[in-house]
């Protein structure tokens, strides 16, 4: 009986791994594009990016590690994203092997973000982080958070890294066509 349950759990884990295992595909024709990836937001809705970006130009907050949330929060607060008209998403980019624990990881993030409006905009991607960075045209540094402006075709219009400051914000707002 235990063997049947174990086999069943292994089959479910294998299915989940196969269905969520999507590797970043750099566009060979140009550098600096958001790779075609699928991910779920923290409310469970599936997105196919970049085509499901919310606007023609979208602010994308990118983190490779949990500790970078402080940097991303500085942008959310600095630009008052919850009360602004800026189209934005937050993208935690997590290494593919962790897809097996995606339910636990996403549940933990959901508990840490009580606001459903924020959870709607957090789309977790399980992929090869280095390939993702290469496709985006950014240097892969797992210790750096990035803020990029991406158009709906996936073109990276520009980016900055790290904590919010006024100079970086002006650059990003200019890329968005604001201020």
Task: Report the DSSP beta bridge partners of residue 59.
Answer: 88, 149
Domain range spanning residue 59? Answer: 2-175
How far apart CA 40 and CA 21 sit, in angstroms, is: 13
pLDDT at 170: 97
- Distance (Å, rounded) from C-alpha 170 to C-alpha 117? 25
Question: Which run of H or E residues covers position 147?
Answer: strand 146-151
Residue 107: both structure tokens together: 């549940």
- In whole numbers, what is the pLDDT of the chain averaged over residues? 81
For residue 95, what are the CA distances in angstroms to 117, 120, 126, 129?
25, 22, 6, 6
- Would you state the pLDDT for residue 19? 34
pLDDT-derived band at 64 (thresholds 50, 70, 90) equals very high
Name the residue with higher pLDDT: 120 or 179: 120
Q: What are phi and psi of 160, to 5 degrees?
A: -135, 165
Instruction: Tell me if 14 sits within 8 A of 22, measured CB to CB.
Output: no
Which CATH number belongs to the domain containing residue 72 in this structure? Answer: 3.40.30.10
Report the pLDDT averaged over residues 18-35. 51
Contacts of 87 (CB under 8 A, 6+ apart): 53, 54, 55, 57, 58, 59
Q: Quickly state the pLDDT bin for 9 (edges 50, 70, 90).
A: very low
69's CB contacts (< 8 A; 6+ apart) are 63
| For residue 70, pLDDT beyond 70 | yes
pLDDT tens profile 86-132 = 999 999 998 865 554 555 666 666 666 778 888 899 999 989 999 99
Between 71 and 12, name the one with better pLDDT.
Answer: 71
Q: Which of 18-22, 107-111, 173-177 has the lowest mean pLDDT?
A: 18-22
Is the pLDDT at 37 greater than 50? The verdict is yes
The answer, yes or no, to whether residue 152 has pLDDT greater than 90, is yes
Residue 66 has pLDDT above 70, yes or no: yes
Q: For residue 148, give the nearest of 60, 54, 34, 88 by alpha carbon.
A: 60
pLDDT at 160 over 70: yes
Total domains, the chain: 1
- The average pLDDT across 166-178 equals 96
Taking the C-alpha atoms of residue 73 and residue 148, their distance in angstroms, rounded to an integer, is: 15
């Amino acid at each position: 009986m235990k063997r049947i349950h174990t086999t069943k759990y292994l089959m479910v884990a294998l299915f989940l791994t196969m269905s969520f295992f999507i590797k970043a595909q750099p566009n060979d024709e140009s550098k600096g594009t958001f790779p075609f990836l699928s991910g779920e937001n923290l409310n469970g809705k599936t997105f196919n990016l970049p085509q499901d970006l919310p606007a023609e130009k979208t602010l994308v907050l990118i983190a490779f590690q949990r500790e970078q949330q402080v940097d991303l929060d500085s942008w959310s607060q600095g630009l008052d994203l919850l009360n602004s008209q800026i189209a934005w998403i937050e993208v935690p980019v997590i290494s593919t092997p962790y897809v097996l624990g995606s339910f636990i990881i996403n549940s933990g993030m959901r508990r840490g973000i009580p606001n459903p409006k924020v959870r709607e905009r957090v789309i977790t991607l399980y992929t090869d982080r280095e390939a993702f960075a290469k496709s985006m045209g950014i240097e892969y540094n797992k210790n750096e958070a990035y803020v990029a402006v991406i158009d709906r075709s996936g073109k990276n219009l520009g980016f900055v890294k790290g904590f919010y400051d006024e100079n970086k914000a002006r650059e990003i707002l200019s890329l968005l066509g604001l201020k």
